[in-house]
């Protein structure tokens, strides 16, 4: 019997998101990044997707991950964190990936300080989800299932 391989979605988390649930719970909630990965794994299984869940504090590593996704993944979900408003290099990598891209922010960046508002990443994003807390990752996976199946 031949096995059909599941589409892989890379979920990329930017700088400082390793602190999720450990600092500033009044802003980012109490779920840890490990909790988010666990709930994404459950949702992905329900959707028939596989996930590769990553985090780095380093811009170059994030760009390498996006390039890796280009080779072997069907889509990218990214919370670029502090790189959102600074990294044209990340924007270029996402554009070059030629994959469906969903940008996630735990908070509504437009309700926050002005310096958080201008997202370069949004210029490469098919969908942007913000202000849903960590539930935004699950919403992004559900949207990604639609984008991936639309080809």
**Is residue 105 annotated as part of the catalytic site, yes or no?**
yes
Give Cβ neighbours of residue 104 (< 8 Å, ≥ 6 apart): 77, 78, 79, 128, 129, 130, 136, 137, 140
**Minimum distance from residue 44 beta carbon to ligand CA2 (Å):** 20
Positions touching ligand CA2 (CB under 6 A) are 16-17, 19-20, 23-24, 28, 79, 81-82, 84, 105-107, 109, 116
Round to whole Å and give the CA distance between 70 and 48: 20
**Minimum distance from residue 27 beta carbon to ligand CA2 (Å):** 7
SS3 89: helix
**Nearest to ligand CA2 of 74, 138 (CB atom):** 138
Question: Where on the phi/psi map is residue 24: left (φ > 0), alpha (ψ -120 to 50), or beta?
Answer: left
Q: What is the CA radius of gyration of the chain?
A: 15
**Nearest to ligand CA2 of 74, 80 (CB atom):** 80
**Minimum distance from residue 145 beta carbon to ligand CA2 (Å):** 21
Strands (E), 16-88: 49-55, 75-79
Residues labelled catalytic = 28, 105
């Amino acid at each position: 019997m031949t096995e059909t391989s599941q589409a892989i979605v890379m979920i990329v988390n930017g700088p400082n998101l390793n602190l999720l649930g450990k600092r500033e719970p009044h802003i980012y909630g109490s779920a840890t990044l490990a909790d988010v990965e666990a709930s994404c794994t459950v949702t992905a299984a329900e959707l028939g997707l596989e996930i590769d869940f990553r985090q780095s504090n380093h811009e170059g590593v994030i760009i390498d991950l996006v390039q890796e996704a280009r080779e072997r993944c069907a889509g990218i979900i990214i919370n670029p964190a502090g790189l959102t408003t600074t990294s044209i290099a990340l924007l270029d990598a996402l554009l070059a990936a030629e994959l469906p891209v969903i940008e996630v922010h735990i908070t509504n960046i437009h309700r926050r300080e002005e310096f958080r508002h201008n997202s370069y990443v949004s210029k490469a994003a098919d969908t942007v989800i913000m202000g849903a807390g960590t539930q935004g990752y699950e919403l992004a996976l559900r949207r990604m299932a639609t984008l991936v199946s639309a080809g």
